[in-house]
Amino acid sequence: MAPAVFIENLKKCYGSVEAVKDVSFQVQPGEIFGLLGPNGAGKTTTLRALCTLITPDAGKIEVSGISAIANPRNARRRLGYVAQEVALDKMLTGRELLQLQAALYHLPKTAIAPRIDAVFKLLDLQEYADKKTGTYSGGIRKRLDLAAGLLHSPDVLVLDEPTVGLDIESRFIVWEFLRKLREAGTTVLITSHYLEEVDALADRVAIIDRGVVIATGTPSELKDRVGGDRITLRIREFSPPEEARKAEELLRSLPFVQEIIINNAQGNSLNLVVTPEHGVMNNIQETLSQAGLPVFGIAQSRPSLDDVYLAATGRTLLDAELAAAGTRDPKAEKKQNMR
């Protein structure tokens, strides 16, 4: 059986900007696959290329064995795409919007009404069907957007940041709906920078950073590869670099310490991977105290997807988000969006 989605050596540039440098991954039929990474990592560009909205500069894209580059129309029939930004005509009712969507996909006239009723029921939208979308809350608007993406019964539902901007209750409703879709056999590909979302939903994950896939596997596999417990340590709230390096040198001599990364973006805090054993925290604090180094804060936890990202890149996803926000060029973004 062909993969539901097959992407190999994908590349896309906007002028001198490499939005996607080298992205490869496969999504198997009937799974939820998460594409995780910070804003600006290349997630949305990858999805837009998959959904035939842009043409890549190089690479291979297939949907259920059909080339999305050579046969975009056939590939498009097998895809449902829900963009990050919800774009609904506020003057249309939910039913009218789906009728328009059905016409765009050339659904048989006899199938349109039953199919619209089915997706309204699936997403618990019956009471909103004949109300104008301008009266919908954010969560209801997102659910109608999902309904539009599912109307033509696609093999693969592609979701770009499906819960961004939603409240907790609406996010959980969307999560439960996606799990039901998977149980019914629909393949789901989502992008997100919410760690807990991908961890809770995805059967497998690809982590993308600066246009390159840096890790692929199940959430458990990725976390197991990092190994050990995590300890986040701050000598001071904002430690001098030389003090952080001194602490690193001292702690590397401890037998249970597997790895140490100094996180410059977070006040030169130290991120340790340690073998889980009794007394680890006390031993670390005693070692530093004997050397005259204070401990501003220390915490221990099990590995997370953020630890996977940290181990691969030397920074957390939050650090990457902040860096992207600080270096973003509004003029360049405007030019890119106009392409």
Average pLDDT over residues 49-67: 96
Radius of gyration of the chain (CA): 23
Q: Residue 338: pLDDT band by 50, 70, 90 thresholds?
A: very low
Q: What angle do CA 257, 261, 263 make, to 5 degrees?
A: 140
Give the containing element (helix H, strand E) for 27: strand 17-27
Strands 5-14 and 58-63: antiparallel
Tell which wins on pLDDT, 328 or 215: 215
Strand order from edge to edge, sheet including 204-209: 66-67, 58-63, 5-14, 17-27, 212-217, 204-209, 32-36, 187-192, 156-160, 79-82
Please check the confidence at residue 8 and state whether its pLDDT lies above 60.
yes
- What is the per-residue pLDDT for 113? 96
- What is the per-residue pLDDT for 327? 55
- What is the per-residue pLDDT for 326? 66
According to CATH, the topology of domain 5-223 is Rossmann fold (3.40.50)
Distances from the Cα of 23 to the Cα of 19, 54, 105, 212, angstroms: 10, 15, 29, 5
Please check the confidence at residue 125 and state whether its pLDDT lies above 50.
yes
pTM: 0.76
Q: Residue 336: pLDDT band by 50, 70, 90 thresholds?
A: very low
Dihedral angle of Cα 321, 158, 187, 98, to the nearest 10 degrees: 140
Tell which wins on pLDDT, 230 or 284: 284
SS3 245: helix
Dihedral angle of Cα 134, 135, 138, 140, to the nearest 10 degrees: -110
Which part of the chain has CATH 3.30.70.100?
228-302
Cα(173)–Cα(305) distance, rounded to whole angstroms? 23
Which part of the chain has CATH 3.40.50.300?
5-223
Find the range with the poorest average confidence among 54-68, 216-230, 277-291. Answer: 216-230
- pLDDT (tens digit per residue) in 249-271: 999 999 999 999 999 888 999 99
- What is the per-residue pLDDT for 281? 93
> To the nearest whole percent, how much of the chain has pLDDT over 90?
67
Average pLDDT over residues 172-182: 91
- What is the per-residue pLDDT for 308? 85
Please check the confidence at residue 48 and state whether its pLDDT lies above 60.
yes
Give me the chain's average pLDDT, please: 89
- What is the per-residue pLDDT for 332? 43
Look up residue 39 and give its amino acid: N
- What is the per-residue pLDDT for 331? 47
- pLDDT (tens digit per residue) in 129-139: 999 999 999 88
Please state which architecture CATH assigns to domain 228-302.
2-Layer Sandwich (3.30)
- Tokens coding 337: 């969006």
The helix/strand count (H/E) of the chain reads as: 13, 14
Give the containing element (helix H, strand E) for 189: strand 187-192
Q: Residue 46: pLDDT band by 50, 70, 90 thresholds?
A: very high
- Tokens coding 73: 């129309």
Cα(251)–Cα(56) distance, rounded to whole angstroms? 47
- Tokens coding 287: 């070692």
Average pLDDT over residues 132-154: 92
Please check the confidence at residue 182 and state whether its pLDDT lies above 70.
yes
- Tokens coding 56: 């890549």
